[in-house]
A and B are shown apart, each in its own frame.
Chain A
Amino acid sequence: MLVSHNITFRVGNKVLISEISASFAPGGLHLLVGPNGAGKSTLVKVLARLLRPQTGTVEYEGTDVSGASEAELAKRRAVLSQAIEIAFPLTVREVVMMGRYPHFSGRPGPTDERIVDEVMQHFDVTEFEHRYYQTLSGGERQRVNFARVLAQLWDDGSVASCRYLFLDEPLTFLDIRHQIDFMKRIRSFTAAGNVVTVGVVHDLNLAARFADQILMLNGGRIVANGTPAEVLTTERISQVFGVQPTMVQTHDSGLHLIFN
């Protein structure tokens, strides 16, 4: 369980998020939506403890994370970000192996090698494990990064407690097929284990289709928190985003939004 108590984060005098209290249960996919500048990315970074809030606390399993060491935290918390550029020649396998860095010192052990094999298989990147990361396309790169992040959180039997996966707009530069494919994989990974997943997604239709819980932010505050059907109402979307949606109910994948 991930809980935030009344967190406020400022840069200088500018308040980016304000008095956010929310809880996120394991097994569910929790997505943050909101217009640009709403504080989604800041909130994800505060929850992942990259940023430390001026007031309020973030708790993993009831324990305040502000005192945890980076190394300790990295064993159970991972973040998938936007496109990552690497200036040096690293092979796909080396990048994926970085996900195991928090779990070994010195050289990777047999467990680490096995997990890297498994996640590369899972994301269909095994065929180019010896290619350099720079030579891959955007979609391929993001598959590699996803494999790396899951290698970090992979259940190797040593971490019994809950694990935390954060998504900081990882779908930004991907085409629609990859977006849907990634969301499916994220949902199945979250549902399979003791994992809390919190992410930022721009596309409201993707959020509607895949989220178990949606948190809508505007101006650094929570304006709605609940299931997609509860949060994504016509009035609220037109109020927060300033565009008028039309709701279409489809029989296969739920709610669809069309913007006029």
Chain B
Amino acid sequence: MTTQHGRRQLLLIALVAVTLLVLIASIRYGAIDFSIAEISHALASLFPGRPEPTLDQRIFLELRFPRAILCLLVGASLGVGGTLMQALFRNPIVEPGLVGTSSGAAFGSALFFVLGGVFHIGASLWSLPIAACAGGIISTYLVFLLARSREDRRASIVMLLLTGLAVNALFMSAIGFLSYIARDPQARSITFWSLGTLSGASWKAVEIVALTTILGSIVALRYAKQLNALMIGEEEATYLGVNVNRLKWIILSVNVVIVAVATAFTGVISFVGLVVPHILRMLGGADNRFLIVGSALTGATLLTLADLIARLSVRPAELPIGIVTSAVGVPVFIFLLRRRQYVF
């Protein structure tokens, strides 16, 4: 225990270091590269009494920097969400997207784009995340409702995955319909959203996603021990003093909120939530206290790397980030499926 505990702490420290390194790369390179000196001047210009920032410095402060931070936060949300869903389903191939949360959230935001344009609904700070959250909650609930067996009212994993597939397809077709009827700028936002993009990052988005990610992770950490107990079975967890039904609702709610809000600002980004917990389990075992903290850091690192690839591969243009994560994530997913003989 002590050795494993020490090993995990070392791993987490190493992950913090890697995350910081990747963050520095992320704020330096892109359509324009910034030197460390330019970055420090730009940051210094924020303090009172300094000269007004130059155009380059403003690009850095208002576009590049919030984008890098948002990327960290969204990656962290997806990583934590993946860990929570895998722990909850006691199955290592579940991810937030598979049970409909992210496509529902994307649908909610697409609907908001289109209807907001039609009815001129006040675009207050919170309306987009609320629309996305509502979409995420509805689609997740729909998946659970449809996947539940008639006999014992439990959702088996294979039913969840298949139902999730169907509901995802349904929401994707709804998104397609919305972008078909939408006017051009809206349609373009919708397309970008269903592929995932960080190009719309702003400090407002950072504030909101930071709030849900940090609060969600803190709540999740409080239930890490109960999630550990759940690994040996629902009945066994009950015998160990866990109120399993309550735990399920809390963890599902945390997952829906953090994933839906992240999706609200970036669109659907797949496979991060699936791959991150696997990498960590291989490195440091399955204790959820370690996994939750570690998957926040690893998710942040991986998504930042993906964003760098998205920005640098076709610069000065950029790819939707979902394309990058899927291109890397799909082979990893298939590898994991083949390597471990999961019994459905």
Contacts and interface: CB of A to CB of B under 8 A. Distances in A.
Interface string B286-310: 1100000000000000000000000
Contact of B281 (A70, A77, A85, A89): A89
B229 interface: yes
Interface in A91-120: 91, 93-95, 97-99, 101-102, 105, 113
A110 to B, nearest CB: 12
B231 A87 contact: yes
A44 to B, nearest CB: 11
A98 B235 CA distance: 14
B286 A89 contact: yes
B232 interface: yes
B228 A98 contact: yes
Contact of B1 (A85, A87, A97, A99): A97
A70 B242 contact: yes
B92 A88 contact: yes
B241 A48 contact: no
B225 interface: yes
A101 B229 contact: yes
Interface in A148-196: 152
B149 interface: no
Contact of B285 (A70, A71, A75, A94): A94
Nearest to B340: A87
B241 A74 contact: yes
Contacts, number: 75
B4 interface: yes
B232 A84 contact: yes
A69 B243 CA distance: 8
B85 to A, nearest CB: 13
A90 interface: yes
B249 interface: no
B200 interface: no
A84 B225 contact: no
Interface string B56-78: 00000000000000000000000
A75 B225 CA distance: 16
B240 A98 contact: yes
A238 B61 CA distance: 86
B280 to A, nearest CB: 11
Interface string B233-251: 1011011111100000000
A130 interface: yes
A1 interface: no
Most B-side CB within 10 Å, residue of A72, A75, A101, A102: A101
Interface in B201-254: 225, 228-229, 231-233, 235-236, 238-243
B285 A84 contact: no
Contacts of B287: 90, 94
B231 A101 contact: no
A74 B242 CA distance: 8
Interface string B323-337: 000000000000000
A81 B241 CA distance: 16
B232 A70 contact: no
A73 interface: yes
Contact of A101 (B90, B235, B241, B286): B241
B240 A48 contact: no
Nearest to A100: B240
B199 to A, nearest CB: 37
Nearest to A79: B239
B91 interface: yes
A77 B241 CA distance: 9
Contacts of A77: 239
A93 B1 CA distance: 7
Contacts of A73: 241
A249 to B, nearest CB: 39
Interface string B1-40: 1011000000000000000000000000000000000000
A48 B241 CA distance: 12
A134 B232 CA distance: 12
Most B-side CB within 10 Å, residue of A73, A88, A99, A130: A88
A200 interface: no
B232 A50 contact: no
A91 B231 CA distance: 12
Given A89-B285, A93-B1, A101-B229, A50 B235 contact: yes
B238 A130 contact: no
A147 to B, nearest CB: 13
Contacts of A99: 240
A248 interface: no
Contact of A50 (B91, B239, B243): B239
A91 B239 contact: no
Interface in A132-153: 152
The 5 closest A-B pairs by CB, nearest first: A74-B241, A88-B286, A102-B241, A71-B241, A79-B239
15 contacts: A50-B235, A77-B239, A78-B239, A81-B235, A81-B236, A84-B236, A87-B231, A88-B231, A89-B281, A89-B286, A90-B231, A94-B228, A94-B286, A101-B228, A130-B3
Interface of B: 1, 3-4, 90-92, 225, 228-229, 231-233, 235-236, 238-243, 281, 285-287
Interface of A: 48, 50, 69-75, 77-79, 81, 84-91, 93-95, 97-99, 101-102, 105, 113, 130, 152
Given A78-B239, A88-B231, 12 more contacts: A71-B243, A73-B241, A81-B235, A81-B236, A88-B281, A94-B1, A101-B225, A101-B228, A101-B241, A105-B225, A130-B3, A130-B4
